[in-house]
Structure 1
Amino acid sequence: MSSSESTSQTTSEAARRERRRSNSLLLVLAVGFLVFGAAAGALYYTLRPDTLRIAVGPPGSDDYKVIQAMADAFGDESRTIRLLPIETNGAVEALALLGAGKTDLAVGRGDLDMPAEAQTVAVVRKNFVVLWAPSGSAGKGSKRKLALKIKEVADLAGRRVGVIGRTPVNAALLRVVLSASGVEADKVIVTHFGTDQTEELARDLTIDAFMAVGPLDSKVTSDAVAATARLRGEPKFLAIETSEAIALKHPRYESEEIPPSVFNADPAWPGDKVETVSVSHLIVARKSLPETTVAAFFRQLFAVRQAIARQVPGAAHITKPDVDKDTELPV
């Protein structure tokens, strides 16, 4: 073999070895990229936020504002849960969507009919029943004089009560209070007023007493009390003395007290504590949601609650449910 042929053979062998090394390197790189991609994909899948749908309404309500602020707070930082608010006409529709499996969470009032698979996650706010009657007569020339002043719930028999809020559950709650106080509910006439009709409520001289259901710092309630006091005389707040019995018979309600001066300082409205009942607005979840997902939502909610309250004061009412109390709705 000539020297030129030997040199050519050596060069070809070296080239083959170099190609094998290059192919091996490319294979290693390809496998490495595949492993990295698979790991990155698994990590993304593991760490990606879960998006929970939450039904709430109506738009513009206190509940809707709180949930929207909550969704914004959840989206501002790297968190494991995101919220997607679903607008509804109110709590009844929100709970119906939950029952139909079209949402993961819903905001509803505790004395509404709950879906069978609903479970309580958090309390959005407590609504207190406030009952009061005017101390003045129904007006000039009216036959309804001071002698007909209402001093207690039992005096509401045969009277007309103006209820703030058009939801039928307020009227149903009033019937519970009346029945527990020995008053036949059918003998009390209920007239509903919108939350923006406090002046009309106060000017309606056919109304003998008034009822509001909301947080104690509710502007609607305080405005209604002030309007009736201005036009009908100082308010007489009616104690629901059977509140504990109501709470025992109807676990969806709680026995509470309205503190003195909560609606006005001078003069004090009320002048002393007043026994009443409350009903909670709740965030409820489907039982089929993974427990770890609900737990993550719960932790995030109470981590951002104070931040939300700075934007929407109503968020300050959010509390943890009482796990030690027997309720109709499981926690």
Structure 2
Amino acid sequence: MTGLAIAQWPQWLRSLIVGLVTVAVICVGWLAYRYFAKPVFLTVAAGSADGETLALISAISARLTASKSHVRLKISDSGSSAKAAELLAAGKADLAVVRGDTGGLADARSVLLLTHGVVLIVAPSAVNADGLGDLRDTTIGVIGGPINHPVVGALKQVYQFDRAKVRFQDVAIADGSAALSSGRVQALLAVAPLTEKYLSKIREFFQKPGVKRSSSKLIEIEFAGAVANVAQYYESYDIPKGTLRGAPPIPSDDLTSLRTSFFLVANKSVDADAITDLTQSLVDVRRDLLSQYPILAQAAAPSTDADALIPIHPGAATYYNGDQQSFLDKYDDKLYYASLLLGSLISIIVAAWRFARSGTGPQSMLEPLYEMGNEIKNARSESELEDIEKRIDGILKSEITRNARADAESAEMAALGLAAHRLQYLMSHRRTRIRSAPTAED
């Protein structure tokens, strides 16, 4: 298609075509931006009997959204750590908040150690026993029920509870005080972080009306080291003096017990780059939420050892080891292709602009001059030749003026001169034939 043919297109048609091309370019750019810049959403399963885990994860999710983090969280209320682990294993969740003694974590990889849960065995001060091995003919209420069955199972591997007639009975959190006051249980076993929020709940079991003995004591797990050897998801831990109460201090001295860890884990199939970005965002969010959720003071990097209870996710290890790639190293390929795409888009826009303005601005009239040769050959009278000659003069005059202003190249001016000489020759030849035509008829 020649430039002259395009120049003859109506202006509205050229504008319409350019508009469609522009819209297409904008749509392609927008889709590319959405593809590379849109946030990544990961589903996290979380839940606990007291609802605190769900509240914490919800606050973290809201903070990630407010800070426009690249990785966002969608929360699934699992109700318990065990259910969260099931959802993770089934592929229905990308992340989960789990306790270290929860089963079914073969595909789990740790991202963040959230806190530690300490095994607290609390009894009225009148109970004549300081250690778990001293208890006789006693029923221990297990707060939380199934979630703490692994603790009971680990203790039974070391302690001879059957001989001592020590029994365990599940007790709901809301029924702890009633179970003590009724004599249904003589002690309570709970696993909780050592924060004021959780310790105050444990104190309430002995402070509510109806409880016969308001003072309490902590029972020591004197063989905690042996329990940790047979159940590696626990470790021996010394509860600091005065943890449960400061004056008089309870316990009166450091007291041996067990603890396990709470982790935010990810399925091992989750993209490593997404987990790296998430880990960095979580560390930043931890600082922002620390005053509102003091439990985050215990948050830390999980173990990177090969024999860790839950192996660390490669993406999280990249962040903790400081092996994150720089922006250019990470996106060099994308930047290269983006530059190629940008160059192509600019070329398309320039071409579209020229196309839209074709025929509207100054252009060389060599082709129209050559077309006039056919008009001269077909002229039948001198008046027609005079009209053509006037048009030629007008074209040459305007073209010489335009090229003079634009400092045109000599080659184009020479072409104009040749075209003019050629048309002058054709004009003279045609006049001669027209003038001789009547004589020939005579």
Return the offset for 1:206.
Answer: 4.5
1:194, CA displacement in angstroms? 1.7
- Identical counterparts, % of pairs: 25
User: 1:225–1:275: structure 2 CA closer, same or farther, 3 Å change rule?
Assistant: farther
Secondary structure of the residue aligned to 2:279 is: helix
Structure 1 residue 80 corresponds to structure 2 residue 76: no
**1:183-239 deviations in Å (ceiling 9; x for gaps):** 4489421122221233213313353332221111213223235569x7326433222
- TM-score in terms of structure 2 length: 0.62
Measured in 2, the distance between the counterparts of 1:226 and 1:152 equals 23
**8 Å contact from structure 1 (residues 195, 220) kept in 2:** no
Q: Secondary structure at 1:323's aligned position in 2?
A: coil
1:180 maps onto 2:170 in alignment: no
Partner of 1:216: 194
Point out where structure 1 has 5 or more consecutive residues left out of the alignment.
Answer: 1-12, 138-148
| Residues 17 and 47 (structure 1), Cα distance of their counterparts in 2 relative to 1, 3 Å cut | closer
Tell me: CA distance 1:39–1:206, structure 2 relative to 1, closer, same or farther (3 Å): closer
- Out of 62, 71, 74, the residue aligned to residue 52 of structure 2 is 62
- 2:401 is matched with none
**Change over 3 Å in CA distance of 1:326–1:235 after alignment to 2:** farther
Distance 1:238 1:39, change over 3 A: same
Supply the AA of the counterpart residue of 1:102: K
Aligned-residue offset at 1:17: 6.8
Which residue identity lines up with residue 91 of structure 1 in the other structure? S
Q: In 2, distance between residues paired with 1:73 and 1:284?
A: 19
- Aligned pairs, number: 306
Q: Which runs of 5+ in 2 are unaligned?
A: 313-442
Contact 1:62–1:314 (Cα < 8 Å) also in 2? no
Q: State yes or no: 1:257 paired with 2:235.
A: no
Cα 1:314–1:49 change in 2 (3 A) is same
Q: State the alpha-carbon separation in 2 of the partners of residues 180 and 136 from structure 1.
A: 26
The answer to whether the 8 Å contact 1:69/1:311 transfers is no
Contact 1:252 1:327 in 2 (8 A): no
Distance 1:185 1:315, change over 3 A: farther
Residue 251 (structure 2) aligned to one of 270, 275, 278: 270
Match of 1:288 among 269, 274, 293: 269
Correspondence for 1:114 among 92, 104, 111: 104
Corresponding position of 1:161: 140
SS in 2 for 1:69: helix
Deviation at 1:182, TM superposition (A): 4.6
**Quick one: structure 1 residues 16 and 249, their matched pair in 2 at CA, closer, same or farther if it must change by over 3 Å?**
same
Deviation at 1:60, TM superposition (A): 6.1
Structure number with higher helix proportion: 2
Greater strand percent: which structure?
Answer: 1
In structure 2, relative to structure 1, the CA distance for the partners of 1:186 and 1:123 (3 Å cut) is farther
2:228 partner amino acid: A
The root-mean-square deviation of aligned C-alpha atoms, in Å, is 3.1
- Higher RCO (Cα < 8 Å, 6 or more apart): 1
Using the size of structure 1 for normalisation, the TM-score is 0.80
Summarize the Cα distance change of 1:176–1:239 in structure 2 as closer, same or farther, 3 Å threshold: same
* Separation in 1, partners of 2:148, 2:97: 17
Q: CA 1:248–1:51 in 2, change beyond 3 Å: closer, same or farther?
A: same
**Counterpart amino acid of residue 165 in structure 1:** G
Change beyond 3 A, Cα 1:60–1:68? farther
1:307 aligns with 2:297: no
